């Protein structure tokens, strides 16, 4: 198996290997992948001090509710695609 180097990272944590892989990911979004991507995007924004403490608290609560709903549907977690991986 060949180790391909990512072309870049979305939100500093989701690797992509081509523009086509990003297009494919966007075209095949489901609840779990949406939750995964939003979580990474919000964590990235938080790491860049985009939100104040109160906003971070509200976002954190929203993420917990969304993730509980998404991941309670079955026992699997994470993004299920070969085009994206966690950094």
Q: Could you tell me the residue ranges of all domains in the chain? A: 30-81
Do residues 8 and 16 touch, judged by C-beta distance below 8 A? yes
pLDDT reading at 3 higher than 60? yes
pLDDT at residue 81, as a whole number: 45
Q: pTM, whole model, 2 decimals? A: 0.69
pLDDT tens figures, 30-76: 988 998 899 899 989 989 999 999 999 999 899 888 888 887 865 55
Instruction: Report the alpha-carbon distance of residue 7 to residue 84 in Å, rounded.
Output: 11
pLDDT at residue 79, as a whole number: 45
Instruction: Report the alpha-carbon distance of residue 83 to residue 70 in Å, rounded.
Output: 21
pLDDT reading at 19 higher than 50? yes
């Amino acid at each position: 198996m060949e180790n391909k180097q990512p072309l870049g990272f979305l939100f500093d944590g989701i690797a992509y290997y081509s523009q086509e892989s990003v297009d494919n990911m966007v075209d095949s979004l489901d609840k779990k992948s949406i939750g995964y991507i939003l979580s990474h995007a919000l964590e990235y924004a938080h790491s860049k001090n985009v939100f104040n403490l109160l906003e971070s608290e509200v976002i954190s609560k929203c993420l917990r509710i969304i993730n509980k709903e998404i991941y309670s549907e079955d026992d699997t977690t994470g993004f299920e695609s070969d085009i994206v991986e966690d950094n």
